A and B are shown apart, each in its own frame.
Chain A
């Protein structure tokens, strides 16, 4: 099935965002969810927005789909301004939610019918049937979707998003809460949909391996700002080093560690130390010699990955290890209190 989306200026990227800020609440007391974000996503790309919970991923999707207003800056999707030409934008985009949103009392066919009505489509039946066949749902098209498995419901949701031949599909954390086999199945679907239908996909995720496996380009977002952008390989190449993460009981002699052969940089966050090194294997013997063993609570080596890129840029992990650190801190305080 070959598909071409509605026309738009050829030079325009599928998504263009300039100095975009979004504030919830009033200046001073509100939350700045997006902070001067600038982004250009070329047509036909699978672009991943990778970041921890609360980084601003969903807010960016809300703004780009016209659900939220912009505080300042500009954004266009499929060549149309998301604020001034919102209806035109919404006619050219599809959306796949984190949680599956379907009318459970309706059959798959009725859900597609409603989507066709909402998109103002007339001759949609043939396209809908092709999509149902593509997603292996044609045999169950008259069953109520409340009886579908999670995987089938996700497939139907993607079929709804593709029904009107959109230029861009937004997938907001599409695999969150899914078991591993369903997640893998969804990865294959996203790759297949992109290859088969030629749409631009903007996918948000906080799963490193998902971004790595699916996306041609990735933007790393943290605290409302895009802090790095490139292909997965380009991003990994930025680190150009192994990271040794060391957690100790007390402080360390930073100048001494920095002077160790092969160590490029030592950064501290409380009693957790991130040591950049050209080769972890070369540095570890000297490091273990420099730090008394009784001081070490935990040590790990991170090879270049998107996780280390995020760690290198922010000093934190995407998955967030704050709660674990809090628990450890609590137990340490309890132990101290007991003497």
Chain B
């Protein structure tokens, strides 16, 4: 099982680095948010420093954008699985002693790891926009691990939902259904303090909010929000377990 997992996991990463287009898409989208959305709001955010906790909106936005981009990573993982089904590669994998559960684990962790590529690029971009990072190595580890948990959780969710699909369009449709509500009902782009009650209720269980909050606290106060970290670990564990069982049972081969 270990051999099969490492083979498929390495395949996921190798394919990413061999395909510059995928790499570019992975990095460009969150960068756009930071550059355009962040710059567009920066002037007003300076006036609302008490509300945002910083006069640099990019500093506020960065953890949120990194968190929401982990949703997109889930969609890419799901698309890559459907591509494997359509081109027959899933059949090639499963006519070896490899279980569907292992295929799921390699896809989920491979896609999640791919999402982490965005972190150094975004951090470098944020530095250009004037963000200063005074984090300790432990802080960095906690932040990156938190983002990895979000990515694993969402990749697992996408893979579970699209396990029985072979339609190219499904991940896009699912993404539209999941990404927008989760992004806008979280504290990723703005503080949740001013939300109406019903949105606050969603935000309080939304992993994106916890991930954004974890990174934001580290950046703005230097403190680790262990509750948020624990919540994200739980989210990854629950979604991973559900994805494993759903894929083991319903992963369609072709």
Residues on A lying within 8 angstroms of B by beta carbon are: 65-67, 87-88, 90-91, 93, 95, 97, 99, 101, 103, 105-106, 110, 113-121, 170
Contacts and interface: CB of A to CB of B under 8 A. Distances in A.
A99 B97 contact: no
A103 B16 CA distance: 13
Contacts of B96: 90-91, 115, 118-119
Contacts of B7: 113-114, 116-118
B15 interface: yes
Interface in B76-109: 87-89, 91-99
17 contacts: A65-B95, A66-B94, A67-B94, A67-B95, A87-B99, A88-B97, A91-B96, A95-B91, A95-B95, A105-B14, A113-B7, A117-B6, A118-B7, A118-B8, A118-B93, A120-B4, A121-B3
A93 B91 CA distance: 13
Nearest to B1: A120
Interface string B1-26: 00110111011001100110000000
A101 B92 contact: yes
Contacts of A116: 7
Given A65-B95, A87-B97, A117-B8, 18 more contacts: A67-B91, A67-B95, A67-B253, A87-B99, A90-B94, A90-B98, A103-B89, A105-B19, A110-B14, A117-B3, A117-B7, A118-B3, A118-B97, A119-B97, A120-B3, A120-B97, A121-B3, A170-B95
B94 A97 contact: no
B106 to A, nearest CB: 10
Contacts of A114: 7-8, 11
A87 B101 CA distance: 13
A118 B96 CA distance: 6
Contacts of A91: 96-97
Given A67-B253, A117-B7, A120-B4, A101 B97 contact: no
B176 to A, nearest CB: 29
Nearest to A99: B88
Contacts of B253: 67
A117 B4 contact: yes
Contacts of B254: 67
Nearest 7 Cβ contacts at the A-B interface: A117-B7, A118-B96, A101-B88, A105-B18, A95-B95, A91-B97, A120-B3
A166 B3 CA distance: 18
Contacts of A118: 3-4, 7-8, 93, 96-98
B91 A101 contact: yes
Interface residues of B, number: 25
Could you tell me the dominant secondary structure of chain B's interface residues?
A: helix
Nearest to A101: B88
A64 to B, nearest CB: 10
Contact of A101 (B10, B14, B19, B89): B89
B95 A105 contact: no
B11 A103 contact: yes
B4 A103 contact: no
A324 B124 CA distance: 66
A103 B98 CA distance: 17
Contacts of B94: 66-67, 90
B245 to A, nearest CB: 18
B95 A90 contact: yes
Nearest to A118: B96
Nearest to B18: A105
A66 B97 CA distance: 10
A67 B88 CA distance: 12
Interface in B1-56: 3-4, 6-8, 10-11, 14-15, 18-19
B247 to A, nearest CB: 15
Contacts of A120: 3-4, 97
A97 to B, nearest CB: 6
Given A114-B11, A117-B6, A93 B95 contact: yes
A101 B87 contact: yes
Nearest to B7: A117
Nearest to B2: A120
A90 B19 CA distance: 31
Residue of B10, B14, B18, B95 ringed by the most chain A CB atoms within 10 A? B95
A318 to B, nearest CB: 25
Contacts of B11: 103, 106, 114
Nearest to B98: A118
Which of A66, A91, A99, A117 counts the most chain B CB atoms within 10 A? A117
Contacts of B89: 101, 103
Query: Which residue of A105, A113, A118, A119 has the most chain B CB atoms within 10 A of its CB atom?
Result: A118
